[in-house]
Amino acid sequence: MRVKRIAVLGSTGTIGKKALEIIYQYPDRFKLKAIACWSNIRELEKQIRRFDPKIVAVGDVQAAKNFKTKKKLFIGQDGIDSIASLGDVDIVLIAINTTSALSSVLAALKSGKDVALANKEALAMAGSVIMQTAKKHNAQVLPIDSEQSAIWQCLQGHDKSLLRRVYLTASGGSLYRVAASRFANLTKKEVLAHPRWKMGAKITVDSATLMNKALEIIEAMWLFGLNFEQIKVLVHPEAIIHSMVEFVDGSIIAQLAVTDMRLPIQYALGYPQRFNSKQNIDFLKLGSLHFDKPDLKRFQCLMLGYEAAKTGGSLPCVLNASDEVAVNAFLKDKIPFLAIPEVIEKVMRKHKVIKNPDLDSLYRIDNWARIKTQELLCRF
């Protein structure tokens, strides 16, 4: 078996760190070629010592000024994109947690590399461009997001035309059992206390608002060529079933595993191989699994997401950009929790949807939505 040469973008984040451990653990299968981070120099230095990549990139120009290394160093967003298109790399794992991942995704695909994608914001902003670019350059987008990985795994060996629908499961996030009357006064700590997954701050807030699920609907539509109507969201608090697919004959296949991102990362990097691991589910301890309808009244972001996914065109781009700005403001204690759906909705209403936007239009719309959101946030 040929060793896969890998570049990890966003190496200092939650997924990036796990990916480096996996690559290190299987030296006969993977070789780490390059890593890139935005500004966490301290963690980056540790990673260079431990994992010894040949090439390194730092996105933040200011942070790069105080950084000395004997490795080949690239700086800035262009620097990260250069790592995404290095000659001797087979898979680019992209775990950058903002929409800025888009340029790296496109750089990697244009140079014919498979992209193991943990970022959903880029697909929400420009899914059509990403999928077209992948097709044109004969490259694959390999999902890392646990729900998408589940759908991908369930589809193996099946004809996609026989698919009736998919069930996208949601743990429900930190607010699943919190009454609507409490939402106006929620603290950041409450919102960030996710019961099942340990993740970065932005995605944890998105899980609390269920915007994460909204983005995953859009993600699934692009990755698997699905219509909005084919995707059903199912709250499943145990988060053991990571998603399910239903075929035309009514047969349903689910993927189950413990909540550990190592598995989807390993699957994306090793595909189509599977590796030994100690993970297993104790069904007797688990006892039962539960399912529930998502509450669209309490979680308006999901409602807005349904609208964006159904409408398509440039609306998902607006939803995504506005959410990123609003969540950032919430994390900086500038706005209350309920302002997040409020401003996103207002920005969506102000936007005139374009049906088939090209990349330039999407960048323009993304920028417009960020400015509009910022303006509205100032009123809080």
Tokens encoding 31: 């070789």
CB of 147 to Mg ion, least distance (A): 5
Select from 2-10, 83-91, 142-150, 273-281 the region that touches Mg ion (CB under 5 A): 142-150
For the record, the structure tokens of 206 come out as 């998105």
**Quick one: which segment of 140-148, 303-311, 315-323, 350-358 binds Mg ion (CB under 5 A)?**
140-148
Kindly state whether residue 238 participates in binding Mg ion, applying the rule CB under 5 A. Answer: no
- By CB under 5 A, name the one of 81, 121, 147, 238 that touches Mg ion: 147
Q: Is residue 300 helix, strand or coil?
A: helix
Q: How far is the CB of 32 from Mg ion (least distance, A)?
A: 25
User: Which C-beta is closer to Mg ion: that of 6 or that of 203?
Assistant: 203
Q: What residue is closest to Mg ion based on CB?
A: 145
Between CA 203 and CA 1, with CA 24 as vertex, the angle to 5 degrees is 110
User: Between 117 and 126, whose beta carbon lies closer to Mg ion?
Assistant: 117
Residue type for position 286:
L
Answer for which of 81, 145, 219, 238 binds Mg ion (CB under 5 A) is 145
Question: 35 is written with which tokens?
Answer: 């890593």
Buried b / exposed e across 238-277, counting CB within 10 Å, b at 16+?
bbbbbbbbbbeeeeebbbebebebbbbbbbbbbbeeeeee
Alpha carbons 342 and 238: distance in angstroms, whole number: 30
Near Mg ion by CB under 5 A, which window of 25-33, 128-136, 145-153, 284-292?
Answer: 145-153
Q: Which is nearer to Mg ion, 81 or 145 (CB)?
A: 145
Q: Which is nearer to Mg ion, 127 or 313 (CB)?
A: 127
Contacting Mg ion within 74-103 (CB under 5 A) = none
The span of 5-13, 81-89, 103-111, 139-147 binding Mg ion (CB under 5 A) equals 139-147
**CB of residue 145 to Mg ion, shortest distance in Å:** 4
Number of residues that bind Mg ion (CB under 5 A): 3
The H or E element that residue 99 is part of is none
Instruction: Specify whether the CB–CB gap between 166 and 224 falls below 8 A.
Output: yes
Radius of gyration of the chain, Cα coordinates, nearest whole angstrom:
20
**Is the CB of 114 or the CB of 147 nearer to Mg ion?**
147
Q: Among 141-149, 183-191, 333-341, 370-378, which window interacts with Mg ion (CB under 5 A)?
A: 141-149
173: left (phi over 0), alpha (psi -120 to 50) or beta: left
Cβ-based nearer residue to Mg ion, 13 or 313: 13
- The residue among 17 and 110 lying less far from Mg ion, judged by its C-beta, is 17
As measured in angstroms, the least distance from the Cβ of 255 to Mg ion is: 13
Q: Which helix (H) or strand (E) holds 35?
A: strand 30-37
Contact 85, 181 (CB under 8 A): no
Residue type, 236: H
Contacting residues toward Mg ion, per CB under 5 A: 145-147
